[in-house]
Chains A and B, each alone.
Chain A
């Protein structure tokens, strides 16, 4: 799924239409959302099949909300402490952390809500960061 969304993002970017740069970034952010949700589902297999949220523990209810309602990348990471531990242990941990937070910020603030058109070079840089974070998350 994440690869499909990344393909969609690069397809929009490669169309070379200025009006599609925000769309490419919007789709690019979904790549990270898909990967984080996959990691959450892997670790909380009780939420993989239909459940009644009212019958879940408080913690599982919050994860359910993040999985099926929310797009809060930063909050998802809060339920993946082992990901943070691996970032801290990695030789390039600071750079990965910066890339992740930069993607979160640009997707949260700019790509989803800004009426301004992103410059092509900005969209390129964003997609490069998404590619890097994607590879890293897939390696976990």
Chain B
């Protein structure tokens, strides 16, 4: 059976851009979970100085400012990683 190509919903690029511009220097990677549901991985050096609840509040505040209700419920986890959370190269 031919695989159906599904265009990425517009909210994915909108949220990715908003996260990148409001968290300057961050790397944002969206990942499809299923259908229109996406999770986002945000790597930002400033997260190193924040606890996880603070990181989550920050990114979800951006979500609620940028997206409408229908799109918000297509946002899955937003993984918030500081540089110290990444595995070292050694």
Contact = CB atoms under 8 A, between A and B. Distances in A.
A binds B: yes
A63 interface: no
A8 to B, nearest CB: 21
Q: Which secondary structure dominates where chain A touches chain B?
A: helix
B32 interface: no
Nearest to A95: B64
A118 B69 contact: no
B51 A122 contact: yes
B33 interface: yes
Interface of A: 74, 78, 84, 87-88, 93-94, 97-98, 101-102, 104-106, 108-110, 114, 118-119, 121-122, 125-126
Interface residues of B, number: 24
Contact of B34 (A78, A102, A114): A78
B85 interface: yes
Contacts of B72: 94, 97-98
B53 A125 contact: yes
Interface in B21-51: 33-34, 37, 39, 51
A126 B78 contact: no
A98, A106, A122, most chain B CB atoms within 10 A: A98
A58 to B, nearest CB: 14
A125 B50 CA distance: 14
17 contacts: A78-B37, A87-B73, A88-B69, A88-B73, A94-B69, A94-B72, A94-B73, A97-B75, A101-B60, A101-B75, A102-B56, A102-B60, A105-B52, A105-B56, A106-B52, A119-B51, A122-B51
A105 B33 contact: no
Nearest to B50: A122
B73 A105 contact: no
B19 interface: no
